[in-house]
Structure 1
Amino acid sequence: MVQPYGRSVSALEWAFLGVPPNRNAINLLVEGEGVLRAARLARAVAVASAANPGARLVREDKHWVDSGRAPEVRLLDGEPFNWERLDSPALRAELADSGPTCEVLLFPGASSTVVFRAAHAVMDGRGLLMWATDVFRVLRGHDPLGATSTVNSEDLIRAICAPDAPPPVSDAPTMEFPSPLGPRPTNSSGPLWRRRTVDGTHLGATAKVIAAFAAAYGPGRFLVPVDLRRHTPDIRSTATLAQPLRLVVRAEDGWEEVQRDMLTAMAERRELATGPDPAIMNLPLPLLRAGAEDLDKKAAETDTYTGRAFVSHLGTVDLDGLSSDTFRATAVYTLDNTSPGGPPKIDLVETAGRTEITVAWYGGSGVAALAEGLLDVLEEALSPLEHRQWAGNRTKRPLPSQHSVVRLFREQVERAPGRVALSGPEGAVTYGELSRRADVVAEGLRRSGAGRGTVVGLLAGRSVAAIAGLWGVLRSGACCLPLDVRHPDRRLAEFLGDAGSTVCLVERPFDKRHCLPGGCRPLPLDELAGAHGPVVRGADADISPGDLAYVSYTAGTTGRPEGVQIEHRNLVNYVHWATSEFDVDADTKLPLLTSLSHDVSGTSVFLPLLAGGQVVLMRDDPDHLSLRRLLRHSGANTLNVTPSHLDLIGRFDLKPSGYRSVVVVGEQLRVEVAARAQQMFGPKCRIINLYGPTEATIGCTAHTFDAEADGVGPVVPIGVPADNTTVFLLDADRRFVAPGQVGEMYLGGAQLARGYLGRPDLNRERFPTLADGTRLYRTGDLARVLPSGELEFVGRVDDQVKARGHRVEPAEVAPAPADVRALPDPFDVQPGAATDRTDAVVVDPVEEAVAQVWAHALGVDRARVDGRADFHRLGGDSVTLLAMLAGVSRDVLAADSEPAFMAALPEILREPTLARVASVARRAGTKLAA
């Protein structure tokens, strides 16, 4: 027979029971996108609570017993909730020990929020998270992990301490510290909560918060709850098992000193001695609550409290673990209450790329402003304003026109119908003639049912028909999917099928190919856009800024191409900025050298045709012969090329005259290539380095080459962001890097694509948001801000390479073996190499021993740990760091060397690499042979 769940009330829990019920709750809020149905959530709560009976407790005298009743799920549709102020009557509701001690609140909507609430007497933050995570496991169709341990904090402390040693007991802390948020109001209506989301996850976040607090508001005692579960990691309990460390911090202490003192205190297990005196169990609850009220009254009258602040860190939470098939968590944070006589509470929770900070105090006049000021201090400690703000991002500028490119092209045609729009092998074509052909294409598409929301394929070369087809698609209101005729049929069919295209404009001779998937029918482009077609002038579709202009397939980081969706608002911002940046006007003659399937061709097509200029068509693919002919005979005065093509051009024995701008895009531009081009085209020609992935619409930063200023480095800078676009440099933990440091480029602003077609999973990964809600694109490109204030591209964070401006993912290469694993390992020792020599490198036994300790503490393969390995990059946190230090002391150090080793803890914290730890161990003294 299974015994019913129950456990004794601990002295710590009895102390929480002495807090008034309306202040005895801890709230875990999970915000997300999608829908959570109350009935389905209630079923999941019931199943998860049966596996976590700590969620169903009621008190019988000094025992907790399982009521057998699942916590209520309350649907608060229409409930008043001020999210900015975190103010809701539901969050202030009492959770009494005699009734339900836990409940779940559901605030529905497009952005739903679910709140898990528990009386602090039955659960701490970690226990609440265990229960909530199991609820979402059930929602995802998995069995709950459960938490059925019946131990309380006193049981745990007795198990941790020596069997013959009584549990340590400490005196209650004195009340001697004023609050930075003002005296506790005697007539407060309840808690005041304020929240701040900070970008990045931060090593030593708790220590940084405490050090910043002490520097801004003065020194004193800080209370840091420590989860007793760390001593028995396998325990599954939702009980209140956190007891506070008491740290005395000086105003001048840096965060490394605070972190050292905190780790030292944890190593000495000082939190075991900070629980309440067990004699508190002899006090009746009415008397205990009266004492709490007296303590509160004294605190309010004297403005003195038991510490400067209570700083709690719930740890790193995986948002996927708090998501379901219909709901995706976007944020999680806690709203706590203050204890009688206790100082303000600061709670931290970290998720991927985010740190949530909440402050809890008592509401009163001016308290909210003081709380926001405190959050300003804490945010600055974690993410300095100097790192977040870069002058190059001050790019907000009004557009010359809000009209779409469709309207702008129609206006240009009406201004100068007789001007030459296209030139090349097919002869000159005027704006009026090009417009007539485009109208015929648009009408043919309308008759085929194409329009807004339709993706129309375009399979054509660099021809008059192709340009007419492109404008015809846009005029019909549809979205264009240009295809590269050099791609195999299988790849083209894959693109058309993935995009859901029902119609494809096909130019001869490509109509003989077998590349259209089922459900996609061809339209003969030559007939529609022919020179002798009918005269049609249909009305242009009414284009909205959010309508799709085109889809461009690019090699993906997953090994399969992804369709990037570019909206009209993205395209029109690029057109206006680039037209000005590249000095494009009615005299511009710009060749089209690339397939229309490559988004960089947009520079050659849209810019001149919207400025009254001319597009020079080139049938042949760019090579040394076709490029030489182009430079000699086409009459072009502007170029749009890749660095590879520019390098090829620079090797010609030519001196082209009359060139105004050469726009270089697609790869890193070397100074020697730019300098040679500058000499070739002359000093009046601007060599412009354009940077931008497809996901940010063709190009979003630019720099004009300066031979004198740029000649000091190997590569040409990529410049500053375009109008209404931004660039942020973040590290691997999504923190803003310091000025001059290398970070990954995250792009934002008006040119950011809608996302990948049909890939919500990849959109979440590649299009994250900053804490302030700014939507970004994660490029995978590394850059730094130079002293000049411009960006310099320095490489990639992944394996992606570029060839002539085209992304190449090793995982996507067709011939077998298909990916980067087929390449030889440059570090592999070959037969007859160093291992056969007498001077082969000998592994340092100290470093090897430390590496073994690291591998064990982190649970990683030994092969992943080398001298440059960073403990935190391998997944370490404060607790595993402590375990690692203990392992080194046990397995590596000489018997009397531990004090010297631990004295160097600040050095290790600053550089937690394997080589550094091994060096400190050698200096302290080891028991191993050198």
Structure 2
Amino acid sequence: MIHQTSSDRLGRSKSDLAMEQSYSRSVSGLEWLFLGIAPDRSVINLLIEGDGGLRPDELTRAVAVASAANPGSRLVLEDKRWVDSGKAPGVRVLDEEPFNWERLDSPALRTELTESGPTCEVLLFPGASTIVVFRAAHAVMDGRGLLMWATDVFRVLRGHDPVGATSRINSEDLIRKICAPDAPPPVSGIPTMEFASPLGPRPANSPGPLWRRRTVDGTHLGATAKVIAALAASYGPGRFIVPVDLRRHTPGIRTTAMLAHALYLEVRAGDGWEEVQREMLTGMAERRELATGADPVVMEVPLPMLRVGAEDRDKNAAQNNSYPGRAFVSHLGTVDLDELSAIDFRATSVYALGNNNPGSPPEIDLVETLGRTEITLTWHDGPGVAARANALLDTIEEALSPREYRQWAGNRTQRVLPSEHSVVRLFREQVERTPDQIALSGPEGAISYAELSRRADAVAAELRRRGAGPGTVVGLLAGRTVAAIAGLWGVLRVGACYLPLDVRHPDLRLTELLTDAGSAYCLVEHLYAERDCIPDSCQPLPLDDLTAAGGPSAEDADADVSPSDLAYIIYTSGSTGRPKGVQIEHRNLVNYVHWATREFGVDDQTRLPLLTSPSFDVSGTSVFLPLLAGGQIILMRDDPHHLSLRHLLTDSGANALNLTPSHLDLIGRLDLAPTGYRSIIVVGEQLRVEVATRAQEMFGPHCRIINEYGPTEATIGCTAHTYKPPTDSTASVVPIGLPADNTTVFLLDAERRFVAPGEVGEMYLGGAQLARGYLGRPDLNRERFPTLADGTRVYRTGDLARLLPTGELEFIGRIDDQVKVRGHRVEPAEVAQILEDHPAVDRAVVVARSRTGPTSKALYAYVLANTAVGERQLADHLAARLPAYMVPAATVVVPELPYTVSGKVDIRALPDPFEANPTPLSAATPRRKTPCKERWHRSGPAPSAWTAPDWTDKQTSTGSVATRSRCWQCSPQSAVNYWRPEERTPSWRNCP
């Protein structure tokens, strides 16, 4: 059903209508030519796709308000003037008329927009993916004007006032304004019809326009020139037509009028895109587009005669396959999708659908958004045209994003899993196969598979009794113990999601995590029962009592776990001061288990220690892999240090290790010669060749040193490489290898273009192990989990890598401030945020520095204080809120922060906290506590002296002008600026 809505319902007054209808302007010669085209052949369309919905009544109101501010959307023809009709464009809701995604088509897109009105309209296609189409007769708007109007509509939908476009200028008025008086530029004649269409002649009896779309990753320098050069190379040189927006000559102008003039480019055989770009820029510098308007005499030709002439021109062009150029290539520019979004609607793409003007060649339209270029092709439909159109788009895509860059052989990772069962089912089956085999060993003795399963069933029974199931988040506050492993499996068996908590973390942080995750229950070991960390919304359950009591086996009690159900949530550091909860689904986990089991050679003889906290996601390798293969977990109660590691290597019976490079480095410095080890899995930090070589020598040639890479968001690990001396020994770091099964890695640059092999790019991860996203953080999910042009959902890691000649990946570093400390990801901004919560701290800067080696990093904090404060006080403040690995190794109070010329903190100029004669903290002069926002505003002639209650040293010379907006320390870009009449130069001063 089609619903027609109208702005007449808004009940505007007659005076409002009279004021709105006062807008009018002359029709330009070029617009008159467009009026001489059949109304169904001269409509331009701007399509906006998005998630969420738009209410028709709200959209109708927004269109009315925005159109009042953009009267060019309400025009009708009176004589030879455009006049504001006072009626907002209609909004048609097509809830029963499907949009054909393959053809980019709908009968509604073929309706006419005539000069008698309406000349503009809006179409709304509701559904799972909402589409909003802004349509306009090309005689009243060009692409830039259409975008201007659409942007104002969405601005109103977001609750803001429209900017508006009320200029009455047309293209001829603008040209007269640009050029010298009485010397208008010459008008070029109609270009010769001598170029064949790359899509072949217009099909006879074409049913109408054909639209095709291609999305390419990245935004591309010289995209228009690259497209033209590629078409010339594939279909022959010749003339290409590039519409140029005349608004560029007067950037402040606000008008929706038709101001696009053609720039003709003659492309020679062999011209590359650089030559095409140079010719295009030269033409624009010489203002050649000003000479391609319509001859003024055209205004004397009646519209019916113009339409007859247009039809003849179109017929001759189709019969002879001759056009004024090979193609129109139009670039609308870069569009911010946030500007085309509303409160409940998030734009995901925007693109243009052109029109088939009589006698014109195919039209190619480009629109760039963040990390993406949309390309659409418009031509006449007919037999074989769609295939030729797709081939032409292939040519364009290859020019912008070569297949060699996009399709890396290492991403051919498709593999059918040996079993589709969840880890819950796989563990139950393993218990049935080997009930008496040792599953756990350590300080508590040996525990069989049957006994571990019985204890897990007891936990599951209690959780089930309390109503826990899929969607329930259960905290797990326990050490590396039998009870912890049993509790974990008990949670999974009822289909719930476990939240592992590090017992070393402060109570405040644990409370924050349990609250943020919405945990209904928390399994707590007796050792931690007295801690004040369980929020009122979460019920603690005695883990030791449940697992000690045990219960009868309940083989049929396991929940029917869905692949999309959550298995666990792991929290990582957040740059905003708020940790991020990464949600891992069962399908993510089971893919990792099958790949890693095969890749690391885990079997029923594997004895793998659990060295890391369960809250560190790499512990999943030690927890899941051995138990699902019939192997054994060795529980290590003490944290890794030289004594505990020595005992582990010599007395535990372990034959495999899963640890960080820092721990491996520590092991390498022990005077030991362990025997019987099959594999060492290293993950969490960059592995240096020096460390790997020493480990290989220590554990022997038959032990595999495996370098695994993977962020929490990609489920533990997603690439791996086995160290191969002497091949790998020539580099400084060990490669991270190839992607896991059903996993992909893409390398993109800052503009999200695929980089060439060997070039450094940011890693974007895709595939079966990609997390659901961050819990309760839709904004962060959009930023960190974007979608590539082909629809692939990826995780943006922030890690840099390159493709080696061997075809494997090498990790290079980070693109931001995030660092790894003891294998944990840390956002220094989170630590700084917590420091600034201390009442004595005005500003904090936290940096990571290496003191003993390139992979041995520690955090150091520098603070500006308003009262005397000691390092111990600040350290205690942090320790009560952050994990130990996030507490800086040193905190220094400084009298001021050094800045670079660009206004950033100069990290290199910060003092070394371990210098020979450090400044005593007590000697540092505290800054007086003053508000740092909008605290002093004044400009104009100044008296001989100024005083302000929040400032000191405000002396300035008579007659000077001082302005102040923000504190230099807090916002360096807007510091105090004193203008001295005798110097006429600004003098920058810091906050006292």
Q: Which residue of 1 aligns with 2:701?
A: 683
Q: Secondary structure at the match of 2:613?
A: coil
Q: Which residue of 2 aligns with 1:627?
A: 645
Using CA pairs under 8 Å that are at least 6 residues apart, name the structure with larger relative contact order, 1 or 2.
1
Letter in 2 for 1:670: R
Q: In the aligned structure 1, how far is the partner of 2:64 from the partner of 2:835? A: 53
Q: Secondary structure at the match of 2:526?
A: coil
Q: Which residue of 2 aligns with 1:725?
A: 743
Instruction: Give the superposition deviation at 1:365.
Output: 1.1
Q: Which residue of 1 aligns with 2:211?
A: 193
Q: Which residue of 1 aligns with 2:335?
A: 317
Q: Which residue of 1 aligns with 2:788?
A: 770
* 2:551 matches 1:534: yes
Q: In the aligned structure 1, how far is the partner of 2:658 from the partner of 2:603? A: 15
Q: In the aligned structure 2, how far is the partner of 1:301 from the partner of 1:584? A: 71
* 2:316 matches 1:290: no
Q: Percent identity?
A: 77
* 2:213 matches 1:179: no
Contact 2:457/2:550 (8 A) holds in 1: no
Q: Which residue of 2 aligns with 1:451?
A: 469
Q: Mean alpha-carbon deviation: is it higher for 40-49 or for 163-172?
A: 163-172
Structure 1 gaps, min length 5 = 831-862, 864-930
Residue pairs, 1:21-420, within 5 angstroms:
21-420=39-438
Instruction: Give the superposition deviation at 1:171.
Output: 1.3
Q: In the aligned structure 2, how far is the partner of 1:819 from the partner of 1:735? A: 33
Q: Secondary structure at the match of 1:193?
A: strand
Residue pairs, 1:601-640, within 5 angstroms:
601-640=619-658
* 2:768 matches 1:750: yes
Q: In the aligned structure 1, how far is the partner of 2:208 from the partner of 2:78? A: 28
Listed one character per residue, the Cα deviations across residues 517-560 of structure 1 (whole Å, up to 9, x for unaligned) are 12101000000011x43335261011010000000001124332
Structure-2 change in CA distance of 1:499 and 1:357 (3 Å): same
Q: In the aligned structure 2, how far is the partner of 1:472 from the partner of 1:266? A: 70
Q: Secondary structure at the match of 1:175?
A: coil
Listed one character per residue, the Cα deviations across residues 253-307 of structure 1 (whole Å, up to 9, x for unaligned) are 1111111111111111111001111111010000000000000011011110011
Contact 1:688/1:704 (8 A) holds in 2: yes
Letter in 2 for 1:819: V
Q: In the aligned structure 1, how far is the partner of 2:844 from the partner of 2:654? A: 41
Listed one character per residue, the Cα deviations across residues 565-607 of structure 1 (whole Å, up to 9, x for unaligned) are 0000000000000001111001100000011111100000100
Q: Secondary structure at the match of 1:223?
A: strand
Q: Which residue of 2 aligns with 1:492?
A: 510
Q: Secondary structure at the match of 1:116?
A: strand
- The size of the alignment, in residue pairs, is 830
Instruction: Give the superposition deviation at 1:352.
Output: 0.4
Contact 1:443/1:536 (8 A) holds in 2: no
Contact 1:197/1:354 (8 A) holds in 2: yes
Q: In the aligned structure 2, how far is the partner of 1:49 from the partner of 1:640? A: 64
Instruction: Give the superposition deviation at 1:714.
Output: 0.3
Q: In the aligned structure 2, how far is the partner of 1:24 from the partner of 1:213? A: 25
Q: Which residue of 1 aligns with 2:894?
A: none
Q: Secondary structure at the match of 2:129?
A: coil
Contact 1:28/1:334 (8 A) holds in 2: yes
Q: In the aligned structure 1, how far is the partner of 2:101 from the partner of 2:552? A: 59
Residue pairs, 1:834-873, within 5 angstroms:
none
Q: In the aligned structure 2, how far is the partner of 1:344 from the partner of 1:558? A: 49
Q: In the aligned structure 1, how far is the partner of 2:269 from the partner of 2:574? A: 50
Instruction: Give the superposition deviation at 1:182.
Output: 1.0
Structure-2 change in CA distance of 1:595 and 1:828 (3 Å): closer
* 2:35 matches 1:17: yes
Instruction: Give the superposition deviation at 1:826.
Output: 4.7
* 2:24 matches 1:6: yes
TM-score with structure 1 length normalisation?
Answer: 0.88
Contact 2:195/2:322 (8 A) holds in 1: yes
Contact 2:522/2:541 (8 A) holds in 1: yes
Instruction: Give the superposition deviation at 1:720.
Output: 0.1
Contact 2:352/2:365 (8 A) holds in 1: yes
Listed one character per residue, the Cα deviations across residues 821-858 of structure 1 (whole Å, up to 9, x for unaligned) are 7666255599xxxxxxxxxxxxxxxxxxxxxxxxxxxx
Q: In the aligned structure 1, how far is the partner of 2:835 from the partner of 2:729? A: 40
Letter in 2 for 1:4: S
Structure-2 change in CA distance of 1:827 and 1:469 (3 Å): closer
Instruction: Give the superposition deviation at 1:167.
Output: 3.7
Q: Which residue of 1 aligns with 2:668?
A: 650
Listed one character per residue, the Cα deviations across residues 649-697 of structure 1 (whole Å, up to 9, x for unaligned) are 0000000000000000000000000000000000000000000000000
Instruction: Give the superposition deviation at 1:707.
Output: 1.4
Q: Which residue of 1 aligns with 2:448?
A: 430
Q: Secondary structure at the match of 1:529?
A: helix
Q: Which residue of 1 aligns with 2:956?
A: none
Q: In the aligned structure 2, how far is the partner of 1:321 from the partner of 1:232? A: 23
Letter in 1 for 2:523: L
Q: Which residue of 2 aligns with 1:875?
A: none
Q: Mean alpha-carbon deviation: is it higher for 73-82 or for 132-141?
A: 73-82
Q: In the aligned structure 2, how far is the partner of 1:81 from the partner of 1:183? A: 28
Contact 1:74/1:106 (8 A) holds in 2: yes
Listed one character per residue, the Cα deviations across residues 443-464 of structure 1 (whole Å, up to 9, x for unaligned) are 1111122111100000000000
Q: Secondary structure at the match of 1:517?
A: coil
Q: In the aligned structure 2, how far is the partner of 1:505 from the partner of 1:717? A: 40
Letter in 2 for 1:718: I
Q: Mean alpha-carbon deviation: is it higher for 71-80 or for 457-466?
A: 71-80
Q: In the aligned structure 1, how far is the partner of 2:89 from the partner of 2:518? A: 46
Contact 1:730/1:744 (8 A) holds in 2: yes
* 2:529 matches 1:511: yes
Q: Secondary structure at the match of 1:819?
A: strand
Q: Mean alpha-carbon deviation: is it higher for 140-149 or for 84-93?
A: 84-93
Q: In the aligned structure 1, how far is the partner of 2:185 from the partner of 2:30? A: 14
Q: Which residue of 2 aligns with 1:577?
A: 595
Listed one character per residue, the Cα deviations across residues 779-836 of structure 1 (whole Å, up to 9, x for unaligned) are 0000001000000000001001101110111111144554347666255599xxxxxx
Contact 1:812/1:819 (8 A) holds in 2: no
Listed one character per residue, the Cα deviations across residues 175-209 of structure 1 (whole Å, up to 9, x for unaligned) are 10011111112311211111100111000000000
Structure-2 change in CA distance of 1:268 and 1:820 (3 Å): farther
Letter in 1 for 2:602: V
Q: In the aligned structure 1, how far is the partner of 2:27 from the partner of 2:908? A: 59
Letter in 1 for 2:298: I
Q: In the aligned structure 2, how far is the partner of 1:315 from the partner of 1:269? A: 19
Q: In the aligned structure 2, how far is the partner of 1:819 from the partner of 1:723? A: 41
Letter in 1 for 2:362: P
Structure 2 gaps, min length 5 = 1-17, 837-842, 848-860, 863-897, 899-905, 912-967, 969-992
More helix by share: 1
Q: In the aligned structure 2, how far is the partner of 1:439 from the partner of 1:829? A: 56
Letter in 2 for 1:97: E
Q: Secondary structure at the match of 1:118?
A: strand
Q: Which residue of 2 aligns with 1:524?
A: 542
